Amino acid sequence: MTNSNDGNGGAATASIATGRANMQLGYTPLYLQVRQQLLDKLISGEWLPGAMLPSEQQLSVQMGVSQGTVRKALDALSADRIVVRHQGRGTFVAEHDQRRTLFQFFKIADDKGDRVLPETVYSQLRRAEPSTAESRLLGLRPKAGVWRIVRHRALKGRVMLNEQITLSEDRFPGLDVHVPLPNNIYELYERHFATTVARAAEQLRAVSASAQDADVLGCGETTPILQIDRQAFALNGALVELRRSRCLTEQFHYASDLR
């Protein structure tokens, strides 16, 4: 009703960070600034995984922008699977529940194309010295150590995956307290080490089974193996996990959607 006469339906009256900076480069639209602000709060731990964010209305008041701008920022975060939105319920910080782990971070499927949940049948954790490459990639202090996890994982009752994971000891202090490690390890990162894996990059190669592969997977030494190297990144972009999976692909395959 009131329709106060301030009349300003215009744009960008409240540019948050950079004002009207618009020379050539260095201009970020308001909704992206809002997105970054929200992301910063998520990184800082102000809202923990599973928590409900304030409503769009509340956020718009807090941040001094319109509800539509908040919505666009939230939609962007939702597209990156950083938050999850439910109509009528609210917006929530994404959690590493089984479903997310299965669909976003586990690409092995059976011959019908259905994703299969892997079951950990053997798990070992030890502390080790990093290689120079690992130290560089993980951005470790000069003398810092790493955790090395070896897991054997079964699909439909047969051991199919031989997996090695490398983590910074600094980022995961006292990890050995949590032995035996749970099947969903990203949930552990999230709950106990304030580390949310937001995205990952994988490189796939076909290699020959090593003697150790043959032993673990119960195959011949020259059996072709799918080797998957993964780098997992946290919300702030930091590399937090190095992983190498060696996988039998006789009854299963790696599924990739191109779109």
In the complex, which residues of this chain contact a copy of itself (CB under 8 A)?
A: 1, 3, 7, 80-81, 104-105, 107, 109, 113, 198-208, 222, 224-227, 229-230, 247, 249-250, 253-259
Among 38, 56, 162, 240, binds DNA (CB under 7 A): 56
CB of 6 vs DNA, minimal distance in Å:
7
74 binds DNA (CB under 7 A): yes
165 DSSP β-pair partners? 149, 243
Burial 179-188 (b: 16+ CB within 10 A, else e): eebebbbbbb
Amino acid at 233: F
What's the distance, CA 117 to chain centroid?
A: 18
What's the distance, CA 220 to chain centroid?
A: 34
Among 49, 50, 90, 145, binds DNA (CB under 7 A): 90
SS3 of residue 169 by DSSP: coil
Give whichever of 23 and 206 is closer to a copy of itself, judged by the CB atom: 206
Give whichever of 25 and 257 is closer to a copy of itself, judged by the CB atom: 257
Residue with tokens 């301030």: 6
Task: Identify what 51 binds: a copy of itself, DNA, none; CB under 5 to 8 Å per kind.
Answer: none
**Strands 108-110 and 90-93, bridge-based pairing:** unpaired
Nearest residue to 163 (alpha-carbon basis) of 175, 139, 137, 181: 181
Among 43, 47, 72, 164, binds DNA (CB under 7 A): 72
Among 40, 48, 57, 250, binds DNA (CB under 7 A): 57
| CB atoms closer than 10 angstroms to residue 123 | 17
Element (H, E) at 246: strand 239-247
Task: Identify what 8 binds: a copy of itself, DNA, none; CB under 5 to 8 Å per kind.
Answer: DNA
Task: Identify what 31 binds: a copy of itself, DNA, none; CB under 5 to 8 Å per kind.
Answer: DNA
Give whichever of 81 and 127 is closer to a copy of itself, judged by the CB atom: 81
Give whichever of 38 and 169 is closer to a copy of itself, judged by the CB atom: 38
List C-alpha distances in Å: 93 to 48, 84, 211: 7, 6, 43
Q: Which residues bind DNA (CB under 7 A)?
A: 1-3, 7-15, 20, 22, 27, 29-33, 53, 55-58, 65-69, 71-72, 74-75, 85-91
